[in-house]
Amino acid sequence: MQKRKLGNLEVSAIGFGCMGLSYAYGPATDKGEAVSMIRSAVELGVTFFDTAEVYGPYTNEELVGEALAPFRDRVVIATKFGFDLGPIRGLNSRPEHIKQVAEASLKRLRTDRIDLLYQHRVDPNVPIEDVAGAVSDLIREGKVKHFGLSEAGAKTIRRAHAVQPVAAVQSEYSLWTRDPEADVLPVCEELGIGFVPWSPLGQGFLTGTIDAATPLDGTSDMRATFPRFKPEARKANQVVVEFLNAFAKRKKTTPAQIALAWLLVQKPWIVPIPGTRKLERLKENLGACEVELAPGELREIDNAFSRITVQGTRLPEVHMNLIDR
């Protein structure tokens, strides 16, 4: 497995997003199968695992802690704070809350340090300098190694980085979600910050395995509420899948591998974190490291996507309102 740097933090070129094993994309995976999946990723060379307290909530961190306990010194664990999970849900990045969450996450993850601690969403009620200061305190105490931000805008990134160096910014980024390209990726490059695309496969859509008729369980699959995943939008967005299928067939590879290889070639400090519940998909995703895209092929991909207007926003309005822009 190739390695990349997020700031000064070395990780595998492709990480593993653990959320979907417990939450968001249908009923939780059987615990034994989920532990086995995470451990298979380690054996295949993955060293970077992403979770958060809100996934479950709590159950995903517990799963990751159990699965990675035998390999703790071989892996990098990223988790997140930023939500109030009490009776009244909302954002909460008050310094005292950050420290409480970190202590609870350490217990669930069965570890004495969090390698990368992200603010999950920017809290407009707490100055980012106070957030960075709280994480800086945790770093001085040895409980956290590196600081990250999720779905933060360029100005917020600069302000946070001035107080405590930011190792990584995590935002949705893929062939059909290009928002970070305008402002966030340039500031990351300028400041030496790594970038971690979540949903690098478009919540599964870019793999070519989802169409307008694919059933989505409205009680356990968040995608059922996403505008892009409404049946009419999925039907309109099949043009994306048709292009990727045809391109991948010519390359004797798969749409998922093309989508991940495209991200990897954008910058050497980009580390996507696809998730999966199937071993064959895990192996397929990791195989993207071996897929080479020539300059002419990259131009072909960019030209094709420049002519495609993706239907539907990437998240529902309630989620989009939490994003720092």
Domain boundary assignment for the chain? 3-320
Please tell me the predicted confidence (pLDDT) of residue 6.
98
Q: Specify which residues 198 forms β-bridges with.
A: 172
> Is the pLDDT at 8 greater than 90, yes or no?
yes
pLDDT tens per residue across span 62-109:
999 999 999 999 999 999 999 999 888 999 999 999 999 999 999 999
List alpha helices for the chain, DSSP H: 31-43, 59-68, 95-108, 128-140, 154-163, 184-191, 231-236, 238-251, 255-266, 279-286, 295-306, 317-320
Q: Is the dihedral of CA 255, 307, 309, 186 positive or negative?
A: positive
Please tell me the predicted confidence (pLDDT) of residue 161.
98
Q: Choosing from 55, 58, 118, 173, which is the catalytic residue?
A: 55
pLDDT tens per residue across span 33-48:
999 999 999 999 999 9
When pLDDT is averaged across residues 265-280 and rounded to a whole number, the result is 98
Torsion of CA 11, 17, 19, 25, to 10 degrees: 180
When pLDDT is averaged across residues 240-268 and rounded to a whole number, the result is 98
118 flagged as catalytic: no
Three-state DSSP state, 175: coil
User: What is the C-alpha end-to-end distance of the chain, expressed in Å?
Assistant: 34
Three-state DSSP state, 172: strand
257: nearest Cα among 175, 173, 168? 175
Torsion of CA 247, 250, 256, 262, to 10 degrees: -60
Please tell me the predicted confidence (pLDDT) of residue 88.
83
C-alpha separations of 151 from 25, 104, 324 in Å: 20, 23, 6
247: nearest Cα among 214, 213, 206? 206
Prediction pTM value: 0.98
| Percent share of the chain, pLDDT over 70 | 100
Please tell me the predicted confidence (pLDDT) of residue 325.
87
Tokens 């593993």 — which residue? 16
Whether the CB-CB separation of 297 and 40 falls below 8 Å is answered with no
Maximum distance among all alpha carbons in the chain? Answer: 54
Task: In whole angstroms, give the CA distance from residue 316 to residue 321.
Answer: 9
Please tell me the predicted confidence (pLDDT) of residue 185.
98
Whether the CB-CB separation of 58 and 93 falls below 8 Å is answered with no
> Is the pLDDT at 307 greater than 90, yes or no?
yes
Q: Tell me which CATH code domain 3-320 carries.
A: 3.20.20.100
